Amino acid sequence: MLPTFVIGLREGLEAALIVGIIASFLGQQGRRDALRKVWLGVGIAVAICVAVAVALQAYSSDLPQRQQEQLETVVGAIAVLMVSYMVVWMKRHSRDLRKDLEGAAGQALATGSASALITMAFLAVLREGFETSVFLLATFNESSNPWYGGTGAALGILVAAAIGYGIYRGGIRINLSRFFRLTGLVLVLVAAGLVATALMTAYEGGWLDQGSQALDLSWLVRPGTPVSSVVTGVLGIQPYPNWAMVTGWLVYAVPMTAIVLWPARRKAPAAQPRTAQAVH
């Protein structure tokens, strides 16, 4: 439940921030007509993303076992690439995210183009929704109880919507840089587990040789226990991982964790113009 909760919370908050800032600008300008179109666009984007997620799940469940494993490998690899890009991009832009969004929204309103804001909100929700669908599908594939995963994702999205509404109304203030760093660290560990799982399904799909067993973690990862749910569900660690799975987990997790935790480089302050000295 924890991985899907973090995914829903992070992705949902990114979309909620964009939509909330746009709605705030339109409300300040008295553009209720455009604001209604924004909500309509958000609803359509959500419906499209849900339809895509359901179609992917239905398509994968109808495939033969070997092709299911191959599809899970592809989905897992795409999810890892998505989360890696998202973590690195947010690492660079989280500090100035709100200011940049407000600047873009203000520029669109200054040119009298409310349609640009409507499109921005629609595409933001559509993009985050697609990323969430792929990432959740990859996480569900390795989950022993999809209902827990679905509940975690729903709770994360609801919390994100509540935070986004609070930010929109001005009642909630959070340190976005710190928030995205913390959730980014959790997502890196989840993605590292997806790397290991993708290597396992690639073997089961006939794309890789199994290789020799690296570790015996059956004492830690006992099916049905709470510890197993956390270790396997969050970290993707299996009871008997082979060397490819262990290597893949470490090769991904170590550098990505360093990227997330590395202190952000502060921008140099703008040079102040020199004041003219009085001539005596």
The tens-digit pLDDT sequence of the chain (280 residues) is 666 777 778 778 778 877 877 777 777 767 777 778 888 888 898 888 888 888 877 887 777 888 888 888 888 888 888 888 878 877 776 666 667 666 766 676 666 566 777 787 888 788 878 877 787 777 666 555 666 667 777 888 888 888 777 766 665 667 777 777 887 888 888 888 889 888 988 988 888 887 788 888 888 887 767 677 667 766 778 888 889 899 999 999 999 999 888 876 655 554 444 444 444 4
Name the pTM for this structure: 0.71
Residue 226's pLDDT is 67
Residue 250's pLDDT is 93
How far is it, in rounded angstroms, from Cα 81 to Cα 74?
11
Token look-up 């913390």 returns 182
User: Which amino acid type is present at position 46?
Assistant: V
Residue 276's pLDDT is 45
- Residues ≥6 apart with Cβ < 8 Å to 178: none
How far is it, in rounded angstroms, from Cα 54 to Cα 88?
29
Residue 253's pLDDT is 93
How far is it, in rounded angstroms, from Cα 7 to Cα 13?
10
Neighbouring C-beta atoms of residue 58, cutoff 10 Å:
9
Residue 258's pLDDT is 92
Distances from the Cα of 191 to the Cαs of 97, 166, 176, in angstroms? Answer: 24, 30, 21
